[in-house]
Amino acid sequence: MPATTKMCVIIPVHKSAISADEAISLAACKAHLSGYHCYLLYPEGMDTKAYTALHAGLLLHPVNPDWLSSIEKYNKMKVSTGFYQLFARYEYMLTYELDAFIFNDGFDAAKAFAFDYIGAPFFEGYWAARPGAKFMKGCNSGFSVRNIQACIKALQVVSGLRWQWLLYRLSLLHSSRLRKKVNEWTNGRYEVFVTGRFAFNFANFHLNEDLIWSEVIPKLVPSFAVADPMSALGFSFEYNLDESLQLNKGALPLGCHAWAKHLDFWSKYINIKSLTRKEKIDEV
């Protein structure tokens, strides 16, 4: 059993069956991440044999089924202190969703531990980004590393903003004119209060957790360090792949996310033909 507590690997799943593409992702995880504790995070009571048959070293970590019952609940889980406290014995957490792929274990070279949060960089247009698209703030979370204690502290700060939430509910929520004025007075610094985006912590307000860590948390907790776009490129690609490779000086990143959606690009680097992926899982 690996002894390192530098980083743990979290593999969230919600169904007992594993697809061919997910099996490829899991095989890459086994090949390059066996030096870390790899946790299969799954709904309590779910059959995990399909996963452990491919990666016998997985550590089984059942959670409340509600946490993984929908995309919204999954996003809520990843912005809850309880989730990070489960793994507080580690310094960092790698979120490895089973549409990710890792090419090597060079985490230090990829600056994985240089920030509180790093993943594939965002481009304008996201999945429809065109060559020349500008970078946007933040990183995708499907294949990402985050500093566990920094995440816990940031979420604790947000939890202490209840009186601002009440102020928002009583005044700003009902007056677009007042929201505009507040934004002008603060030069946009408190945009998260004006728009109510920090409501993810207090109400049924859905926002993808990677946007929370990328855009909301840094405004509320300026010390929380999100990777700059060029550092993020060395860590992972997801969108605008040809442009990403060019910007990264022709070098592949540590890993990638949503590879199976872009086989025209990734089939050149992942040694599995798109029509025979199921039969060639062992070739990863």
Question: Do 146 and 130 sit in the same domain of this protein?
Answer: yes
* pLDDT recorded at residue 3: 52
Question: Do 42 and 79 sit in the same domain of this protein?
Answer: yes
Q: How far are the Cα atoms of 28, 32, 220, 226, 227 from residue 215, in angstroms, in the given order?
A: 30, 31, 9, 9, 12
Question: Per residue in 54-67, pLDDT tens?
Answer: 999 999 999 999 99
Distance CA 201, CA 217 (A): 11
Question: Do 55 and 196 sit in the same domain of this protein?
Answer: no
Question: Do 102 and 146 sit in the same domain of this protein?
Answer: yes
Look at residue 39 and tell me if it is in a domain: yes
Helix/strand/coil for 114: coil
* pLDDT recorded at residue 189: 66
Question: Per residue in 113-135, pLDDT tens?
Answer: 999 999 999 999 887 888 889 99
* pLDDT recorded at residue 203: 81
Look at residue 2 and tell me if it is in a domain: no
Structural tokens at position 139: 């990183």
Look at residue 253 and tell me if it is in a domain: yes
Of the two residues 274 and 70, the one the predictor is more confident about is: 70
* pLDDT recorded at residue 282: 42
Question: Do 49 and 149 sit in the same domain of this protein?
Answer: yes
Nearest to 228 by CA among 112, 118, 91, 100: 118
* pLDDT recorded at residue 196: 80
Distance CA 55, CA 17 (A): 14
The CATH number covering residue 264 comes to 3.90.550
Q: Looking at the 3D structure of the chain, how many domains does it have?
A: 2
Q: How far are the Cα atoms of 36, 123, 201, 227, 228 from residue 6, in angstroms, in the given order?
A: 8, 30, 28, 19, 22
Question: Do 76 and 214 sit in the same domain of this protein?
Answer: no
Which segment of 73-82, 90-99, 275-284 scores lowest on mean pLDDT? 275-284
Question: Per residue in 136-155, pLDDT tens?
Answer: 989 999 999 999 999 999 99
Over residues 147-171, the mean pLDDT reads 90
Question: Do 14 and 74 sit in the same domain of this protein?
Answer: yes
pLDDT at 76 over 50: yes
Q: Taking all residues of the chain, what is their mean pLDDT, rounded to a whole number?
A: 90
Look at residue 37 and tell me if it is in a domain: yes
* pLDDT recorded at residue 130: 84
pLDDT at 75 over 70: yes
Question: Per residue in 242-259, pLDDT tens?
Answer: 999 999 999 999 999 999
The amino acid sitting at 177 is R
Which segment of 69-73, 183-187, 228-232 scores lowest on mean pLDDT? 183-187
Question: Do 30 and 96 sit in the same domain of this protein?
Answer: yes
Question: Do 113 and 75 sit in the same domain of this protein?
Answer: yes
Distance CA 113, CA 133 (A): 27
Element (H, E) at 88: none
* pLDDT recorded at residue 273: 52
Question: Do 178 and 262 sit in the same domain of this protein?
Answer: no
* pLDDT recorded at residue 170: 81
Q: Where are the beta strands (DSSP E) in the chain?
A: 7-12, 37-43, 59-63, 92-96, 100-102, 117-118, 121-123, 135-139, 143-147, 236-237, 255-257
Instruction: Find the angle CA(143)-CA(146)-CA(149) to the nearest 5 degrees.
Output: 155
- Residue 169 pLDDT level (bands cut at 50, 70, 90): confident
Sign of CA pseudo-dihedral 86, 91, 94, 95: positive
Question: Do 235 and 196 sit in the same domain of this protein?
Answer: no
* pLDDT recorded at residue 272: 65
Question: Per residue in 204-246, pLDDT tens?
Answer: 778 899 999 999 999 899 999 999 999 999 999 999 999 999 9
Q: Following DSSP, what letter does each residue of 213-232 receive, concatenated?
A: IIIIHHHH-TT--BPPHHHH
Task: Give the domain extent around 176.
Answer: 164-220
* pLDDT recorded at residue 284: 39
Question: Do 112 and 230 sit in the same domain of this protein?
Answer: yes
